[in-house]
Amino acid sequence: MNDPARILVVDDTPMNVKLLEGVLAGHGFAVITAPSGAIALERVRAERPDLVLLDVVMPEMSGYEVCRRLRADEATRLLPIVMVTALDPATERVKGIEVGADDFLTKPINQPELLARVRSLLRIRALHDELEELNRTLEERVREQVTQLERLGRLRRFFSPQLAELIVAGDTEDPLKSHRREITVVFLDLRGFTAFAETAEPEEVMTVLREYHAEMGRLILAAEGTLERFAGDGMMIFFNDPVQVPDPAARAVRMAGAMRDRIATLTGAWRKRGFDLDFGVGIAQGYATIGAVGFEGRLDYGAIGTVTNLASRLCGEAKPGQILVHQRVAGGVEEIAEVETVGELTLKGFQRPVKAFNVVRLKE
């Protein structure tokens, strides 16, 4: 049950105070009284009333001066104040408005009018308090969202956008905790980069890497892939973690096809500058253990398993402009891509030959 509204009655005439106290208390209000303006200001600070009934004519400090001081104080500038007087209502009402009073009652007081005005002002005060609370909570939510965006911006420097958003949201199981999941892994690198880096100026190498990372990064984000790492000219991307996606193999192959098309434009421009570079990709599908890798000062999000090694080895075998995929991937993308067998490859770290396929073109 809500506490009753507290009304401060300020009047130097005890009979008037007793009359108002009886009417208000009889209708469920909690009444506080003050016999002078100075004491009224003390009671306001101590009792924090919800409304003040303030007599105009009082010794030492008039009701107008009390009202003026209350309005000058940030803590009470919106406190509802009703001026009460037996003087000429037309003249006194103007003075009351000038000092900031909310309403005006003339003596002798009409009880129904008193109650109606008190209840009306208390409703307005309640609505105002509710609005202030909404504004306060809105400001808090905005601050929280700004903080989250700042955190998200920092995290995106180290993690994929999907992983960064999961970490910031904090409403799911810890995405950095080690877990096992089937993923599609894509390895890519630039052919001829080592020789290029040995002969080119450092500024030229950095320019090429910036162009390469920027273009590949846009395509990774568009495909909703997770960039596990990039080291110089090499990149590892996987699909289906931390956010699970439909048809991860198809996404990987579509992304690789788009990369090949984009690289063709880049390599054309690079060759005009004397840089002999090209591009190769390897794609595999299988289970891996995924989670945070590193130490307290620096964490990466990594995938460990045979599938990552297989994608890396396929990438190493790919010829310039070639996208080599494992048999599992080839079987899952027949509807979107034209593939051709390249036979069985003997790959380092694998005891048996691996059936591999080249993605000739995308059908879509």
Range of 114's domain?
Answer: 6-133
- Mean pLDDT within 338-342: 94
At residue 291, the pLDDT reads: 82
Answer whether residue 150 is part of any domain. no
User: In whole angstroms, what is the distance from residue 250 CA to residue 55 CA?
Assistant: 81
For residue 108, is it within any domain? yes
At 85-135, the pLDDT tens digits run 877 767 777 788 888 888 888 888 888 888 998 888 888 888 877 777 777
Is residue 34 in some structural domain? yes
293-333 per-position pLDDT tens digit: 777 666 677 888 999 999 999 999 999 999 999 999 999 99
Looking at per-residue pLDDT, the higher value among 88 and 288 belongs to 288
Sequence-separated (6 or more) residues with CB below 8 Å from residue 31: 6, 7, 9, 20, 21, 24, 25
Mean pLDDT for 200-223 is 92
How many domains is the chain partitioned into structurally?
2
From 133, 153, 169, the end of a domain falls on: 133
Residue 360 has pLDDT above 60, yes or no: yes
Which pair of tokens denotes residue 212?
């390469």
Model pLDDT, residue 253 = 96
Pair 33, 121 in one domain: yes
161-169 and 111-155 helices, crossing angle to 10°: 140
Is 164 within the bounds of a domain?
no
- For residues 270 and 277, what is the distance between their CA atoms, to the nearest angstrom? 7
| Domain assignment present for 140 | no
pLDDT above 90 as % of the chain: 51
Residue 208 has pLDDT above 60, yes or no: yes
H helix and E strand count, the chain: 11, 13
Q: What is the pLDDT of residue 104?
A: 85
The domain that holds 64 is classified in CATH as: 3.40.50.2300
pLDDT score recorded for residue 331: 92
Task: Verify that 16 and 128 share a domain, yes or no.
Answer: yes
Mean pLDDT of 336-344: 94
- Average pLDDT value for residue range 249-271: 94
Task: Give the residue-averaged pLDDT of 130-154.
Answer: 69
Res. 285 pLDDT band, cuts 50 70 90: very high
Nearest C-alpha neighbor of 190 from the set 215, 222, 170, 155: 215
118 plus 265 within the same structural domain:
no
Q: From CA 300, how far away is CA 237, in angstroms rounded?
A: 13
Residue 190: the pLDDT is 92
pLDDT tens-digit profile of 9-58? 999 988 888 989 999 999 999 999 999 999 999 999 999 999 999 998 88
> 223 with 286, same domain?
yes
Q: What is the pLDDT of residues 162-185, one digit of tens each?
A: 666 666 666 555 656 788 999 999
**pLDDT (0 to 100) of residue 158:** 47
Q: Which tens digit of pLDDT belongs to each residue from 229-245?
A: 777 789 999 999 877 88
Q: Is residue 153 part of a domain?
A: no
The two beta strands, 278-295 and 179-191, are antiparallel
pLDDT number for residue 171 = 52
